[in-house]
C-alpha cells in the first residue's frame, strides 16, 4: 500500500476553538505525557480486545506508544495554532501507514476520542471546562479526519476495502542468520511491496492473545515476502521458538512510507543493527534492476558477527555497478563518519534506534550546503514518531 500523495493538512480550527486551544496548549502540552497513559488505561479497560488483538503489549509496557500519541497530538495542535510551527504532514503520513498495516478503520476512531477526552479531563480536572473539551475534541477530529482520509487512499492503492489487509501465509523457508536474527520466507495472497516497506506479522500466543509486530521486507517475489526478525519481544520470540517451515501465521499487505524513490540521484543507505532490513530491501531491488545509480551503504553494528545481513549486503553491492559498503563496529570503537561520506545531492535513507538516528541527523545538519544531501528519509522500529520533525 503506497501513494505519493501526502495527507491534506490544510484543515483549520474554528475561530473560537483556535483561541481556546492556543490558550490551553501550554497546559495540555505540559501534562500530555501524563494524559496518554490514563487514556490507554481507560480504553483498554473498556476494550480489552484492543490490547489483545491490535496494540503491541511490549510497546505499551515500555510506554513507547503513549509517548508517540502524546507527541503526535501535541505536534498537530501546535500546527493548528502557530503559523510558524512545522507542518506535521510527514508525521501523519507515517502514522497512516502504521495504521493500515494494523488494519485500523474509521469505526475505531470514536473509541479513541471518547477515552482520550476522558483522560484529558481526569488529569487536568477543573481546567477542562465544556468549552475547552469541545475545542480539544475539534483538534482530535481534525487530526482523525486527515488520517482516515489518507488511510482510505492507502487501502485503495492495493484495491482492498479498509481493514482488509490480513492474509494467512505459510512459512516456506527459515534460516538462522546470526545468534539473534532469523530469516523467514512467507507465501500467500500478498501484493507487491515497494522497496523498503514492512509487513505486520500476527501470531496467537499461548495466553490466547493475538499480537502484531512489524518487520521490514528484505526480499519479495510474486505472492512472497521475506523478513529478517531480530529476537526481541513476544512476537519475535514466538516466531523463533514455535514457527517453522510449513506453519501458518498472519501477514498484512505491505505498507510503510520509507520507500526507495524513483530518481537518478545517488543513494545513501545508513543503518544500525536490525535497521539494516529496509536497506537490504532497497539494495536488493537496485541490484535486480541493474541500477546504475551510485549507491553508498553505511552500517553500524556491535560486531561483524552481529551484522546478520552482511553477506547479503556484500552480494548485492558486488552486483551493482557503482556501489560501496562501509561498516563500523562498536567493539572496535568505530562510528559512522557522515562527514567522510559523499552525501552531496543524494537521497539519504536512515533506519535504526532513536539515539543513532539523532546522532546521524545532527551530523547531516552540520554539513555545509555544498556537501548536504538532497533529501533525507527515516524509518524507526519503535513508535518514537516525534523524531520525524
For 240-273, how does the pLDDT look when each residue is reduced to its tens digit (9 = 90+)?
Answer: 999 999 999 999 999 999 999 999 999 999 999 9
SS3 state of residue 71 = helix
- The whole-angstrom separation of Cα 109 and Cα 203 is 25
Instruction: Please indicate whether residue 286 or residue 179 has the higher confidence score (pLDDT).
Output: 286
Active site residue ranges = 109, 151
Task: Give Cα separations from 342 to 180, 273, 290 (angstroms).
Answer: 32, 22, 22
Looking at the domain that runs over 267-388, which CATH code has it been given? Answer: 3.40.50.80
Report the pLDDT value the prediction gives residue 389, as an integer from 0 to 100: 42
Query: pLDDT-derived band of residue 63, with 50, 70 and 90 as boundaries?
Result: low
> Would 166-252 and 267-388 be classified into the same CATH topology?
no
Res. 146 pLDDT band, cuts 50 70 90 = very high
- Which of 268 and 86 is assigned the larger pLDDT? 268
Q: Lowest mean pLDDT: which of 64-73, 237-246, 319-328? A: 64-73
Q: Which CATH superfamily is domain 166-252 in?
A: Translation factors (2.40.30.10)
pLDDT at 67 over 80: no
CATH of 15-157, one of 1.10.490.10, 3.40.50.300, 3.90.230.10, 3.90.105.10: 1.10.490.10
> Per-residue pLDDT tens for 2-28?
999 999 999 899 999 999 999 999 999
pTM over 0.85: yes
Q: Taking the domains of the chain in order of start, what are their residue ranges?
A: 15-157, 166-252, 267-388
* Percent over 90 (pLDDT), the chain: 72
In the chain, what is the straight-line distance between the N-terminal and C-terminal CA atoms, in Å? 23
Report the interhelical angle of 15-46 vs 64-81 (nearest 10°).
170
CA pair distance 43, 242, nearest whole angstrom: 31
Q: Is 347 helix (H, G, I), strand (E, B) or coil?
A: strand
pLDDT tens-digit series, residues 180-221: 889 999 999 999 999 999 999 999 999 888 999 999 999 999
Cell 530491501 belongs to 281
Distance, in Å, from the CA atom of 185 to the CA atom of 169, rounded to the nearest integer, reads 9
**What pLDDT does residue 230 have?**
86
Amino acid at each position: 500500500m503506497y501513494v505519493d500523495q501526502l495527507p491534506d493538512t490544510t484543515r483549520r480550527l474554528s475561530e473560537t476553538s483556535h483561541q481556546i486551544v492556543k490558550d490551553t496548549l501550554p497546559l495540555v502540552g505540559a501534562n500530555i505525557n501524563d494524559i496518554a497513559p490514563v487514556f490507554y488505561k481507560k480504553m483498554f479497560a473498556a476494550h480489552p480486545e484492543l490490547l489483545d488483538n491490535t496494540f503491541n503489549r511490549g510497546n505499551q509496557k515500555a510506554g513507547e506508544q503513549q509517548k508517540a500519541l502524546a507527541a503526535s497530538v501535541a505536534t498537530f495542535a501546535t500546527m493548528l495554532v502557530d503559523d510558524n510551527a512545522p507542518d506535521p504532514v510527514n508525521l501523519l503520513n507515517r502514522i497512516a501507514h502504521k495504521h493500515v498495516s494494523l488494519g485500523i478503520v474509521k469505526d475505531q476512531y470514536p473509541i479513541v476520542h471518547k477515552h482520550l477526552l476522558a483522560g484529558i479531563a481526569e488529569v487536568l480536572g477543573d481546567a477542562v471546562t465544556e468549552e475547552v473539551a469541545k475545542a480539544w475534541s475539534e483538534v482530535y477530529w481534525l487530526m482523525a479526519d486527515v488520517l482516515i482520509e489518507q488511510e482510505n487512499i492507502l487501502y485503495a492503492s492495493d484495491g482492498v476495502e479498509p481493514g482488509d489487509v490480513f492474509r494467512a501465509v505459510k512459512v516456506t523457508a527459515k534460516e538462522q542468520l546470526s545468534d539473534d536474527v532469523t530469516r523467514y520466507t512467507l507465501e500467500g495472497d500478498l501484493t507487491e511491496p515497494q522497496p523498503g516497506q514492512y509487513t505486520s506479522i500476527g501470531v496467537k500466543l499461548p495466553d490466547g492473545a493475538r499480537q502484531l509486530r512489524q518487520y521490514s521486507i528484505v526480499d519479495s517475489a510474486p505472492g512472497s515476502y521475506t523478513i529478517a526478525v531480530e529476537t526481541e519481544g513476544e512476537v519475535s520470540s514466538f516466531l523463533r521458538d514455535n514457527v517453522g517451515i510449513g506453519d501458518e501465521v498472519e501477514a498484512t499487505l505491505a505498507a510503510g512510507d520509507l520507500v526507495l524513490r524513483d530518481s537518478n540521484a545517488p543513494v545513501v543507505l545508513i543503518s544500525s543493527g536490525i535497521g539494516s532490513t529496509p536497506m537490504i530491501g532497497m539494495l536488493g531491488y537496485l541490484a535486480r534492476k541493474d541500477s546504475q545509480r551510485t549507491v553508498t551503504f553505511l552500517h553500524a553494528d556491535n560486531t561483524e558477527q552481529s551484522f546478520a545481513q552482511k553477506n547479503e549486503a556484500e552480494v548485492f553491492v558486488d552486483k551493482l555497478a557503482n556501489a560501496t559498503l562501509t561498516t563500523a563496529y562498536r567493539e572496535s570503537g568505530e562510528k559512522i563518519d557522515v562527514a567522510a561520506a559523499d552525501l552531496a545531492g543524494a537521497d539519504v535513507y536512515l533506519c535504526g534506534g532513536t539515539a543513532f538516528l539523532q546522532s546521524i541527523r545532527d551530523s547531516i545538519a552540520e554539513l555545509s550546503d555544498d556537501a548536504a544531501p538532497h533529501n533525507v528519509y527515516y524509518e524507526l522500529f519503535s513508535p518514537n514518531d516525534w523524531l520525524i520533525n
